Structure 1
């Protein structure tokens, strides 16, 4: 298993980025509109971590890993069959890949296909 994108939703974007940058010696870029204005940094395995503010008033803070998969449709079918609830259908993000979000075990989970 490999994390392709680790999404952190927080009201304190700059503080979280500053702490991660200091603790892990990484650089966060400017907000990326295609990723909900997340500021991103590269992960050791080649993925990214993105820190962004909530996109709507009802969005709670969350840390959501997006696992890299070869076939997102097959992966979605497998997690639904295993009892996961699909929250966001596979959705392409130009230049980044396709993602989906499911809920299971009281946690948010993501899938990502390049």
Structure 2
């Protein structure tokens, strides 16, 4: 199992980016539209870290790992059959693959297929 993308949703994007830059020595991009306006940094192991603001008033701050899968449709189906709620069905992110968001109660996870 490999985390492909780690997403942090926070109302304090700039503050968190500055803090992570200082603590981790990484540089963040400007907002990337297709990732909900996330500012991105690539960590030493190839993991991509995205920090963005909530996209709507009902979206709570969270830290959401997206696990790399080879077949996202099957992985989402299997997760749903085991009790996960599909919050976002597999969707294409132009040039980046497909992702989906799952809720396991209050725990949020994502899946990513490249």
Smaller-chain TM-score bracket: over 0.9
- For 2:99, the equivalent position in structure 1 comes to 99
Instruction: Calculate the TM-score normalised by the size of structure 2.
Output: 0.95
- For 1:113, the equivalent position in structure 2 comes to 113
Instruction: Calculate the TM-score normalised by the size of structure 1.
Output: 0.95
- For 2:88, the equivalent position in structure 1 comes to 88
- For 1:17, the equivalent position in structure 2 comes to 17
* Aligned residues between the structures: 114
| In structure 1, C-alpha distance between the alignment counterparts of 2:24 and 2:100, rounded to whole Å | 28
The C-alpha deviation readout for 1:62-102, integer Å capped at 9, x for no partner, is: 11110000110111111112111111110000011100011
Q: How many Å apart are 1:37 and its aligned residue?
A: 0.7
- For 2:53, the equivalent position in structure 1 comes to 53
Q: How many Å apart are 1:58 and its aligned residue?
A: 1.6
| In structure 1, C-alpha distance between the alignment counterparts of 2:12 and 2:79, rounded to whole Å | 32
Runs of 4+ in 1 over 3 A off after TM superposition: none
The C-alpha deviation readout for 1:30-57, integer Å capped at 9, x for no partner, is: 1101111100000233231100011111
| In structure 1, C-alpha distance between the alignment counterparts of 2:65 and 2:100, rounded to whole Å | 11
- For 2:73, the equivalent position in structure 1 comes to 73
| In structure 2, C-alpha distance between the alignment counterparts of 1:69 and 1:45, rounded to whole Å | 18
Backbone CA RMSD of aligned residues: 1.0
